[in-house]
Structure 1
Amino acid sequence: MIPVNWPFDPRRSPIFYGWIVWFFSTAGFLFSIPGQTMGMAVFTDTFIEVLDLSRTQVSMAYLLGTVASSLFLTRAGHWYDQLGGRVMIAGSAAALGVMVLVISGVDQLSVLLGGSTLVTFVLLLLAFFGVRFFGQGVLTSCSRNVLLLWFVKRRGLVSGIRSVFVSFGFAIAPLAIALLISCFGWRGALWFMGLTVGVVFAALALIFIRDNPASCGLQADGGDPADAHSLPLEAPSKTIDEARRSPIFWIYSLSLGMHALFGTALTFHVVAVFAESGLSAATAFGYFLPAAVFSTGSNLIASSFVDRLTLKPFLIVMLSALSFGAVGLINLEETWGYWVLAAGFGIGGGLWGVVSNLAFIRFFGPLHLGAVSGFNASISVFASAIGPAAFSLAVDHLGSYNAAAQICLCMLLALLVAALLVRQREVVHLTP
């Protein structure tokens, strides 16, 4: 293991070292962009042209790669519990960089191996598996978890501040990548991203990130380690097997997964969904701005007082907001439907950030956080992978995206009823 004082002692930091970890936690989310949908989507048309694959083949490679990556995230969570955030963030960043470089050379590798369509498809599938597993899966989960151990009393607020920067970064990422492509070409852009995350960020993460305050002789929230009365309380830690037997785990995981399924499906098919209601592509893309405003506002408001309240009300409001958003989508041809969709999905998305950050450490403690949150991540990543395909199947067999939205609404209402009925106990008063 790497000595905690290498290459410097965190106790000598002029500010509480948790804020240094906050910076690199936020950066970890942003450097995961090459493994996120918005990071790869910019290259879709290029992949179709260069690899001589159809849009369906590229989409299927992405779907299968994402589904496959979800199956290994629980194991990656166990690695986090064993190795810590410092090693896992640096390692996953390095691996993500390698996989981005692999994607940039899929066409050349295919030629070396015979150049058949099947070979190209399999190589692209494996490359997508790598960027999704190490980017959207491991790097994102580890960057989220490492911050939770440095702040307890202000955990919700600090996570909410991070979400604002991450949301802004994700929003401008497609434009930034498009600029890289215009400057360096598609292959050069991938090399730039791969080397930046795989070498620069991985090295900085290894130098600056620390797993937890106790290992550094510090205390969460910047308290005095010698003052036992100031130690914050945490929920009793439970193993992944105990979490799987808990109704609370499934209520939260399925609710977060439902947001991933519905939100990804809408984003993927947004132009076609709006066209079905007679609305233009410009209107479809314009939807994301008011939704982002609602999302950022609700996240900041909720984060400012979630540290003093239980999560149950936030989960209920999140599911209610997403349900209203589904109603708006079903009635998108009406003016009010557009705004109900933007407000519902925006508020629901903002509260999703709050709930996903805090749920598993509050209910299941910090000791096995990697495994528990990793299993939840596998559910959400799997749901995000099947969402677009599920909406396509609804169009093929039920005749419209509207039918898919109605099914999602029924699922959201069922989860809402369960969230209201299931009893939830959690640690809220974080000082003895």
Structure 2
Amino acid sequence: MQKTETSKQPLFFYGFVIVVIGTLGVWASVPGQTMGISTFTDPVKDALGLDRNEFSLAYAFGTIASSLLLGIAGRWFDIYGARKVATFAALGLALALAISSQSQVISAFILNILGIQSWVVPFVVMIICFFFIRFAGQGVLTLASRNMIMLWFDKFRGTVNAFSSIAVSLGFSISPLMINYLIEGNGWQKAWQIMALVLVLVSIVIYLLYRDSPEVMGLKPDGNLLKKNNKEKSDSERRQFTRGEALSTRAFWMYGLMLAFNGYFVTGLTFNIVSVFDSVGLTKADAISIFVPMSIISVITSFVFNAMSDFIKLKKLLYVMILGGIIDSLGLAFLSHSWGYYMLVAGSGIMGGMFAVLSSVVWPRFYGRKNLGAISGVSMQMIVFSSALGPFLFSSSLKFFGSYSVVALSGLIGLAIIAVFSVKADNPQ
């Protein structure tokens, strides 16, 4: 962890600034998140002459490739700190969007040189574009911003994460509407270019305001929020696990697999949401209507359980998330029934809210702060990798079995396995 930067102690606890600016950093990752990319699906695939399956497969390959490098990005965080890593991630995402806005031109240029007409060229171009967009956005920028907030707090991680998660959820929920507005008003190429310019400005703000840890400013986690007579172990007194030691514990894999399941299921559902509802005779309006109530449940769940996470065992929260996944899967399997719709909304909201809790507070509490980047980077690899498989497995369920019930019911088997093995997934501290 970087400790070379020094400055005078501020008049107020700088951690409050970190929460706000770190949340802004997570917001800025939207172009690299599923909801930020899915809005571009139809105009981009049509411009490049790709069908939906080809475009989804390019997305999957690019995302899988990006996930393979996130472990390295986690080590960058531990070595260089949040400030440098997040700044370069924001600039990298801006560059990736700028290049992606020219994907049609690039594809046409290559096809002209080769003297052929083939879907393979734009397919490969989009794999490369998705690789950089997903790596910089969903991966590095999100990891650095979220981990930085966690480094600044210890006893109050859950509480501050509650407020940050609400802001992130609200920002993510309205982002598809804002992006769609940009696309309709300016075209998909110009929309990506505008977002790239905004990210350049965000990178400047990140460089000016991000701080790697409280120690670099002569402060301690929680600042003066913690009562002096608090007798619980401080973060510095806990064992600081290495990446290898963390990966040898059952807790890492159970929490990591559950977070990965959320990435897989939510991405698969979101990417195919219109088709999912159409498969049971429901309209596009019905499909879109799911996001508002789902976001409300997710925000409430996140706020309540983030605050509770400071005082109760995280394994209880893990089982709440597993329960949300079960409800979600049953809702998808029986979506043709009216109660299936409500189960899908409730399950998605609960699971999404619990993801916001556990993806942030588990790793520093269980394994310490020293190697947080390397440890959380492996978890992020699992999440991104599984999110790449989601759209493909969902569409394959429809293609080969005629419905999405098969992928939903198979998910229940995975959840049951996680539930059984999580019984002894205790805090290794």
TM range (shorter): over 0.9
Aligned residue type for 1:291: M
Match of 1:21 in 2: 18
Q: 1:360 aligns with which of 323, 342, 363?
A: 363
User: Which stretch of the first structure deviates more once superposed, 155-164 or 268-277?
Assistant: 268-277
**Mapped partners of 1:271, 1:224: distance in 2:** 47
Instruction: Point out where structure 2 has 5 or more consecutive residues left out of the alignment.
Output: none
**CA shift at 1:183, angstroms?**
3.5
**Mapped partners of 1:155, 1:78: distance in 2:** 22
Match of 1:112 in 2: 109
Structure 1 residues 211 and 301: alpha-carbon distance in aligned structure 2, compared to 1, 3 A threshold: same
Match of 1:42 in 2: 39
Structure 1 residues 277 and 188: alpha-carbon distance in aligned structure 2, compared to 1, 3 A threshold: closer
Structure 1 residues 228 and 287: alpha-carbon distance in aligned structure 2, compared to 1, 3 A threshold: closer
Structure 1 residues 2 and 241: alpha-carbon distance in aligned structure 2, compared to 1, 3 A threshold: closer
Match of 2:212 in 1: 211
- Determine if the alignment matches structure 1 residue 181 to structure 2 residue 183: yes
Match of 2:376 in 1: 373
- Determine if the alignment matches structure 1 residue 414 to structure 2 residue 417: yes
- Determine if the alignment matches structure 1 residue 244 to structure 2 residue 241: no
Q: Is the 8 A contact 1:362 1:426 kept in 2?
A: no
Q: Secondary structure of 1:220's partner? A: coil
Match of 2:395 in 1: 392
Match of 2:134 in 1: 132
User: Which stretch of the first structure deviates more once superposed, 64-73 or 103-112?
Assistant: 103-112
Q: 1:331 aligns with which of 330, 334, 338?
A: 334
Q: Secondary structure of 1:241's partner? A: helix
**CA shift at 1:272, angstroms?**
2.2
Q: Is the 8 A contact 1:156 1:304 kept in 2?
A: yes
TM-score normalised to structure 1 length = 0.92
Alignment deviations for residues 216-261 of structure 1 (CA, whole Å, 9 cap, x no partner): 1011111399x89888335311111112211111101111111111
TM-score normalised to structure 2 length = 0.93
**Mapped partners of 2:396, 2:51: distance in 1:** 18
Match of 2:344 in 1: 341
Match of 1:51 in 2: 48
Instruction: Point out where structure 1 has 5 or more consecutive residues left out of the alignment.
Output: 428-432
Aligned residue type for 2:248: R
Match of 1:71 in 2: 68
Match of 2:157 in 1: 155
Q: Is the 8 A contact 1:320 1:416 kept in 2?
A: no
Alignment deviations for residues 129-158 of structure 1 (CA, whole Å, 9 cap, x no partner): 000000001101111100111111110111
Q: Is the 8 A contact 2:39 2:176 kept in 1?
A: yes
**Mapped partners of 2:279, 2:310: distance in 1:** 42
Alignment deviations for residues 54-93 of structure 1 (CA, whole Å, 9 cap, x no partner): 3322222111100100111001101111001011011111
Q: Secondary structure of 1:50's partner? A: helix
**Mapped partners of 2:81, 2:15: distance in 1:** 15
Q: Is the 8 A contact 1:361 1:369 kept in 2?
A: yes
**CA shift at 1:278, angstroms?**
2.6
- Determine if the alignment matches structure 1 residue 268 to structure 2 residue 271: yes
Structure 1 residues 184 and 341: alpha-carbon distance in aligned structure 2, compared to 1, 3 A threshold: closer
Structure 1 residues 3 and 196: alpha-carbon distance in aligned structure 2, compared to 1, 3 A threshold: farther
Q: Is the 8 A contact 2:397 2:404 kept in 1?
A: yes
- Determine if the alignment matches structure 1 residue 11 to structure 2 residue 13: no
Q: 1:297 aligns with which of 300, 318, 321?
A: 300
Match of 1:84 in 2: 81
**Mapped partners of 2:295, 2:69: distance in 1:** 31
Match of 1:223 in 2: 224
Tell me how many residue pairs correspond in the alignment: 420
**Mapped partners of 1:134, 1:279: distance in 2:** 36
| Percent of matched pairs sharing the same residue | 36
**Mapped partners of 1:147, 1:67: distance in 2:** 27
Alignment deviations for residues 104-151 of structure 1 (CA, whole Å, 9 cap, x no partner): 112222333344533332222111100000000110111110011111
User: Which stretch of the first structure deviates more once superposed, 77-86 or 330-339?
Assistant: 330-339
**Mapped partners of 2:171, 2:13: distance in 1:** 25
Structure 1 residues 45 and 398: alpha-carbon distance in aligned structure 2, compared to 1, 3 A threshold: closer
Q: Secondary structure of 2:310's partner? A: helix
Q: Is the 8 A contact 2:240 2:368 kept in 1?
A: yes
Q: Is the 8 A contact 1:310 1:426 kept in 2?
A: no
